[in-house]
Structures are given as structure tokens and as C-alpha cells.
Amino acid sequence: MTTDSTAHDSAYWMAQESEYYVHTFNRQPIVIERGEGARVWDVDGNEYLDFVAGLAVVGLGHSHPAVAEAVRDQVGTLLQTSNLYYTVPQLELGRMLVENSCMDKVFFANSGVEANEGAVKLARKYGRLHRNGAQSVITVLNSFHGRTLGMIAATGQPAYQEAWLPLAEGFTNVPYDDLDAIREATTDETCAIMVEVVQGEGGVNVPTEGYLKGLREWCDENNLLLIFDEVQTGMGRLGHLWGYEHSGVEPDVMTIAKALGNGVPVGAFLCKERCNVLEPGDHGSTFGGNVLATAAGRATLGHMLENDIPGHAARVGDYLRAKLEEFAVAHAPATTGVRGVGLLQALLFDQPIARAVVTNANAEGVLLNPVLPNAIRFMPPLIITEADVDECLTKLDAALTKTLAA
């Protein structure tokens, strides 16, 4: 059955969701119909400035012409072959990723969580071969690596874990930004350490200077693999193409997804040659590296490189940070600070009002994310302008004022 979306308002579609969809999301009451650049429109005709970007996915903005053209051309040519055969977009995207990173090899998946699962499999085989059979991975609290049963165990957030006990074995969660905790948790069973360069879902937590370097040194001393989960921080989000460039620390393995396809689902893990231990039959995916997804990724990455989108994100990210700091000072004590890097920022409150502020901001015409009860996350398309930042904060000012007056 086909339905003309313009024939129904948002209430109709929300009722459809309630009737047919498994209720695992607490959605905002907005039915988005189309998008262009940094803006989206709902089925009722309302316009929103989008500072969520599909959860840091549409880095080039909605309906970007380069990606749309690549997808249209690919749909009319070839959609799926499986990995029993070679396809040109997959191999070209793989080459682009390797040539523009510190990595040597790539494997494509469908999502960030699949990329993380693959990285852990690689690490465990490395441990079996080079660490006397070691199979355990150290991760940190307030991290987020996905919602599969394996990655729930890796994710250091008890709220995500408690309903799914017993957890998969082989993961140790330790405090974030604490090198001593890493050292104390390392045993003969440890094969790798996995962290986010900046924690996204945990509240936009930035490590202190020296933490990532310390992890690198500890891994080198103990022949451990260092895995950076760059699912959210990669593809220009922090003002460099890859988040690790911000710290100057190179991982052994890196996972990416989100913005790689600018909305078309695609993920990958990349590794250095020294830990390239997987062989035929060790790992696979029917859709991973699908010709449509990698055509979108090729167009997305190509446009980012040709137009220095990471450099633009760095400049506008500095502007966003400065304006948020001014905003926080102006609205103290209700606002208590700002943290983040590039175009991944958070505004903190002294009370758990983030969701109410976001609801009021939606009514003003800007989409934001209540990442914690007391924090709002800003992760807009990387193509936003200073004028977009100003508009966002003007609308946020009205939303916060309304929230505090309630």
C-alpha cells in the first residue's frame, strides 16, 4: 500500500507509529518529511534548523547534490552483488579511506555497532596469535559502542546493561580519563583497549591532555591494540577528518560509520598492517560494503576532501564554542558550562531540564539533542554557517527562558 504523506498531518502519522512500531524510541512529536542543507520540514509545513543532523550523520547536510546524484546513478546501475564479487565503488572508497588516514586496511560493515563488533573480533584474534590467547578488551565508563549484546557489554553504562544480564564476557569497564585504572585493569588476558576520542552519547566528554597519548604508550609497552571508536568523531566532526588527528595519537584500529554515507547506512573498521590478522572465513557481511552504500560513501568523502569540509567545521566549531560560552555566562546559574570539540559541543545546566529545553526549542524551530538530563548536545551538519549558529542560539534563548519560567 502506498500513501501520500501530504494527505495526512503529524497526528495521523504518530498514531500509525503507536499502532505498528515497536515502542523503543521516545520520539519528539515531529514528523519530518524533507530536508535541504541544515534545515528540515515536517508534514505540517513547519521549518526547523537542524542541529542534530540525524545524530551526527548528515555531515554534508540533507539532500546534498553530490551524494544524491551518486545514489541516483547507482540505483539505476547496480544495487547488490554480495562480497563474492568485486565492485568498483567499494574498492575506490576503501582506497580513499586508507590514503587519507593512518590505516592500511579496511573492512566495510552496515553500521557503527557492526564496525565495533568486527574490530573486537580482530583484536581477539590478534590476542590469540600475539598475546598468548588473550581475549579481553578494556573499555571505559560513560562510553557508547552500540546496542548489540556484545557491544552492550563493551559500553560502560549500567543503564544500558542491566536489562540484558548476563552480559557477554570479555569486557572490563573502568573509569574514563584515568590511566591508572587502565593499568590496574590490564592483565595477561587483555588484548586491546577501546575508547572514543571524545565521548558522544556519554555527554560530550573530552579527555584531559595526555590521556590518549598515555593509552598509546601503555599499549605499545604491553603489545595491546588501541582501538579508537570514531563512529561519531570521524568524518570531520571535530575539525579534522579523523578525531585522532586532534590529539596526534594514532590508533591500531579505528571504527567509523554515521557521516560516512551522509545518511546511507555504511560503516567500517580500519587497521594497521601489523594487526591485519583476519583471513578468509574469519568475518563477513552480506550487505557490508554494498555497492549503493559505498557509492554514497565515495561521493561523501570525495566532497569532504575536495572542499575541506573538516576545515570549515573547525572554523565554525570555534565560533559555536565561543557563542555557547557567552550564552552560558549570560544565563548563569541555570547554565553551568560548555564542553566539546569542533562541531560536537554540549551546553550544561544546573538542573535536569534538557528535555524540556529541547521541546521548547523545537517549538521555536530548532532541533537539538538532550544527551543527558542536564545537557544538550549540538552536532549540526558540518556545512552550517555562523549565521546558522546565531539563529540557533537566538531560538535557544527563547526556549530556555520559557523553560525557566514554567
In 3D space, the residue among 246, 144, 238 whose CA is nearest the CA of residue 196 turns out to be 144
3-state secondary structure of 14: helix
C-alpha cell of 145? 559502542
Calculate the dihedral angle through the C-alpha atoms of 145, 96, 263, 73, rounding to the nearest 10 degrees: -150
Catalytic residues: 144, 229, 258
- Cα gap 67→263, rounded to integer Å: 9
3-state secondary structure of 126: helix
Q: Which residues pair with 363 in a beta bridge?
A: none
CA angle 269, 371, 194 (to 5 degrees): 30
299 backbone φψ class: left, alpha, beta (φ>0; ψ -120 to 50): alpha
Strand 369-372 to strand 39-42: parallel, antiparallel, or no bridges (unpaired)?
unpaired
Angstrom distances, CA of residue 164 to CA of 129, 138, 269 = 31, 20, 26
Angstrom distances, CA of residue 363 to CA of 38, 53, 222 = 17, 18, 53
Distance of CA 109 to the CA centre of its chain: 15
Cis check: omega of the bond before 175, within 30 degrees of 0: no
